[in-house]
Chain A
Amino acid sequence: MNLDLGPADRAFRDEVRAFLAAILTDDLRAGQRATTAMYPEPEISGPWQRKLQERGWLVPLWPKEWGGTGWTGLQRFIFETECALAGAPLVHPMGVRLVGPVILRFGTDAQKRDYLPRILSGADYWCQGFSEPNAGSDLASLSLRAVKDGDDYVLSGTKIWTTQAHHANKMFALVRTSNEGKRQQGISFLLLDMKSPGLTVRPIATIGGDHDVNEVFFDNVRVPQANRVGEENAGWECAKYLLEFERGAGIFSPRLRAQLKKVAEALRAPGADLQRRFGEVAADLDTFEWLELRTMAALPPGGNPGPVASILKLRASRLKQAIGELGVEALRAGAVRWRSSGPLDGGLADILVPEYCNSRAFTIFGGAAEIQLGLIAKTVLRL
């Protein structure tokens, strides 16, 4: 057991550093720094995505013939660490990390030819239509109906918490195509156009004051059956595969460290208690970083981390919250200014306050903390 990077990995790290030094602009850095919602706005993530694509580093998890890098888990971790420490924007993951692998695995040749190049070029901006008003952590209870009519499905119902649906031109959605059998068996996976008649996007203002998520209404929206990925009623397989990527392929610790850097800026005159808590959070983060790295480094390409994914999800979300909480406490009364921070605090209130508020969502989405604890009890403790 040791932390030493071999010559090849060290050379790779230097290559990433050199790339970042050459390509990362102040605008992009500032855009990421100011981002308090899940992902940067398209005007930040778009240009960054193009630069990564030009370098051939946009889709590390894809097969090589489609632009994949063939990186090891350790290399991916090195890459993410260097990007985050340099302040690079987060890549909008919906196309490249979520629907892309699903199309690669379950899509037809025509779907691959249609969609994959447009993901790589950034021509399409995707959103994820999974959650519904009555289907949150219990995703299998989703009910948005898709009824066959000629060559189309006709969709009616509602999706909610749809991140950046207001920017997206495409959605991948789970819809109910059957009410028979097990709940998971009547679900299909569709790709659809956000410009489709009958589809309306309504913004939801969130606790951090951002417009990040939306409600999406479907009033007899027609989607060609050819846009279905995989077999009818077998969409749950696609969803599970996608969720593996969502949960297992995420690398959280570098971004948490970037968040901690901002909090440290606010701790210009920390009292003894805040110093102690900063030390605790730093110890938590160091530990989490190793837990995550050791999981990633042991993972074969496309591998699933297994039960430890729940531990990582739970800890990442709580750390996000602990760092966020320290951030507002460091601001003291400065945290009361809402979107009007002046030169006195260097603009940190505009970042740290929404970041803290939004951090509360991290133990709710993607399987709430209680769901993760249940999974840990079942898979780790075998209860």
Chain B
Amino acid sequence: MQEGLTEEQRLIRSSAQDWLAGNYDFRQREAGVHRDGGAPAAWSAFADLGWLGLPLPEANGGFGGGPVETGVLLQAMGRHLVVEPYAAAMQAARLLALAGTPAQQERWLAGSVGGSARLALAHAEPGDVLPWEARRTRARRVDGGWRLDGAKQLVVGGAGAQRWVVSARDAEGGDLLLFFVDPASAGVAVDAYDTTDGGRAADAVFHDVALDADAIVGDAAQAKAKLGQVLAEGLVAQCWQATGAMQAVLEQATQYTQQRRQFGQSLSQFQVVQHRLAEMAVQVHEAEAACELAAMRLARDPSDGRAIAASVRNKVARAARFVSQEAVQLHGAMGVCEELPVAATFRHLLAFAQQGGAAADHAADLGAALLAHGGYARSATLEETR
């Protein structure tokens, strides 16, 4: 067991923090907000820094990083409220690396790692509660390929991506399938919009969209399990990012209350303010621990992803809500102005908590599963693969 970061993980973290501090402060960040998928210059810098290859296997030109390595990078990104759709693009690339054919990987992953071809994952659908549920989008087998019908929502980074990986059900067999779709194809109606956190996403309606036979990603037998793993990885990764944002906003709130004077003393001298900050610190500390545990459990046993993701997602989303609300409160009226990072962080954490399944729904899912199979009786840390 190793409870701290490895040398390599520390290096990833410190180099990410250094680069972001020098190139992505709150003013520079504005350049990426409200443009399709963030600032192009930032994305190519991510490629140059090796970040776009971090979670991919070496065989695909990546660096073979696991959930902890990706996590520490995303935590640093969260501190700076990075708006580029890094986590979402990496989910699509990971899915391709795990489930795609060698030809598909060769065709798309080099460009993804190099920054010239961005991928997006189109999985969520209107009416979703949790991401694990059955898809309503249907794929029909036709001569020479497939036809796709359905709707997807909240494709983060969807606008501006070269290809989407779209989940659907086989209209005959009911199996889950994954397809490469060019969002510019005939029959795809894309509606792109700004997201609460300053990023961009898209909804899309697919009406009898023609897909070639080789548009199917890998083989159907693998698709469901691999998609489940990647969804869990994505949920865990977003938690790391949220935790970075929470750490930053706690520091900001601490500093602000030390500077701001009312009734003849700094706000931080009032016990009620100290206790609020301490409660925030506890939750930030816990959120980080939850991320570490989830990443390590995922590395140990990816097949348990649904329960791992539900646990961390619920924990971190509850903490995110508390910390972001308290941070605004402690900033007083300045907390509700866009001028300071606190409002942007509030919205960043709001977007985090509302996508990929709400905290309460993940908890209900986890609770039902634990009670059904007795998993609550096992240690979360020491129990090895069942």
Where the two chains meet, the residues of A that have a C-beta atom closer than 8 Å to any C-beta of B are 1-6, 9, 13, 74, 77-78, 81, 85, 254, 257, 260-261, 264, 267, 270, 272, 274-280, 282-291, 293-294, 297-298, 308, 311, 314-315, 370, 372-374, 376-377, 380-381, 383
Residue B4, interface by CB 8 Å: yes
Contact B289 A290 (CB under 8 A): yes
B278 A1 Cβ-Cβ under 8 A? no
Q: Say whether, besides A5-B384, A81-B379, A374-B274, A279 and B286 are in contact (CB < 8 Å).
A: no
Is B290 a contact partner of A283 (Cβ separation < 8 A)? yes
A288 to chain B: which residues have CB within 8 Å? 286, 289
By the criterion of a CB under 8 Å from any partner CB, how many residues of chain B are at the interface? 56
Contact residues in A for B258 (Cβ distance below 8 Å): 383
B311 contact from A81, A286, A308, A311, Cβ within 8 A: A286
**Cβ A74 vs Cβ B1 within 8 A:** yes
Q: In the complex, what residue of chain B is closest to A284 when comparing beta carbons?
A: B315
Is residue B241 contacting chain A, with contact meaning CB distance below 8 A?
no
Give the Cβ gap from B32 to chain A, nearest Cβ, in Å.
30
B350-386: which have CB < 8 Å to A?
Answer: 360, 362-368, 370-371, 374, 376-382, 384
In the complex, A260 Cα to B318 Cα: how many Å? 21
Q: Sample 16 A-B pairs with CB under 8 A, ordered by A number.
A: A2-B68, A5-B384, A77-B382, A85-B377, A270-B371, A275-B368, A275-B371, A279-B362, A280-B314, A282-B311, A284-B315, A286-B381, A297-B3, A311-B282, A315-B286, A377-B277
Question: Which A residue's beta carbon lies closest to that of B297?
Answer: A3
Q: Does B166 contact A (CB under 8 A)?
A: no
Q: Which residue of B lies closest to A374 (CB)?
A: B274
Q: Point out residues on B near A: beta carbons under 8 Å.
A: 1-6, 9, 68, 254, 258, 268-269, 271, 274-275, 277-279, 281-282, 285-286, 289-290, 292-293, 295-297, 299-300, 310-312, 314-315, 318, 360, 362-368, 370-371, 374, 376-382, 384
Q: Is A291 touching B286 in the complex (CB atoms < 8 A)?
A: yes
Given A4-B300, A279-B368, A373-B278, 17 more contacts at CB 8 Å? Answer: A1-B5, A1-B292, A1-B295, A85-B378, A257-B377, A264-B371, A275-B368, A277-B363, A278-B367, A279-B365, A282-B376, A283-B366, A286-B381, A287-B311, A290-B381, A311-B285, A376-B282
Tell me, in angstroms, the Cα distance from A272 to B363 when the chains sit together. 10
Partner of B367, one of A275, A285, A383: A275
Q: What residues of chain B lie closer than 8 Å to A380, measured between beta carbons?
A: 278, 281, 285
The answer for the CA separation of A376 and B254 in the assembled complex, in Å, is 13
Please indicate the chain B residues that have their CB under 8 angstroms from the CB of A290 in the complex. 289-290, 292-293, 380-381
Residue among B277, B278, B295, B365 having the largest count of chain A Cβ atoms under 10 Å: B278
Q: Which residues of B contact A286 (CB under 8 A)?
A: 290, 293, 311, 315, 380-381
Min distance, Cβ A314 to any Cβ of chain B, angstroms = 6
Known: A279-B310, A290-B289. A298 touches B277 (CB 8 A): no
Shortest beta-carbon contacts, A-B, top 9: A279-B367, A279-B363, A279-B366, A286-B380, A377-B274, A278-B367, A376-B278, A276-B364, A275-B367
Contact B370 A278 (CB under 8 A): yes
- The CA of A267 and the CA of B382, in the complex, are separated in Å by 25
Whether A282 and B370, one on each chain, are in contact in the complex, defined by CB atoms closer than 8 angstroms, is yes
Whether the Cβ atoms of A78 and B382 lie closer than 8 Å is: yes
B180 → chain A closest CB, angstroms: 34
Distance in angstroms between the alpha carbons of A267 and B371 in the assembled complex? 8
Query: In the docked arrangement, what's the CA distance between A278 and B314, Å?
Result: 12
* A370 and chain B: residue at smallest CB distance: B275
| Known A-B contacts A1-B3, A280-B363; A315 and B275 likewise in contact (beta carbons under 8 Å) | no
Residues on A with beta carbons closer than 8 Å to the beta carbon of B2: 1-2
Q: How far is the CB of A76 from chain B (nearest CB, A)?
A: 12
The answer to whether B379 touches A283 (Cβ under 8 A) is no
Point out the residues of chain A lying under 8 angstroms from B295, CB to CB: 1
| B289 & A3 in contact (Cβ 8 Å cutoff) | no
Q: Which residues of A contact B277 (CB under 8 A)?
A: 377, 381, 383
Within 8 Å by CB of A294, from B3, B9, B314, B379, lies B3
- A308 contacts which chain B residues (CB < 8 A)? 285
Instruction: Write the chain A residue with the least CB distance to B315.
Output: A283
- Are A257's CB and B376's CB within 8 A? yes
Inter-chain contacts of B300 with A (CB < 8 A): 2-4
Would you give the shortest CB distance from A68 to chain B, in whole angstroms?
22
CB distance from A287 to the nearest CB of B (A): 4
Query: Separation in Å of the A332 CB from the closest CB of chain B?
Result: 16
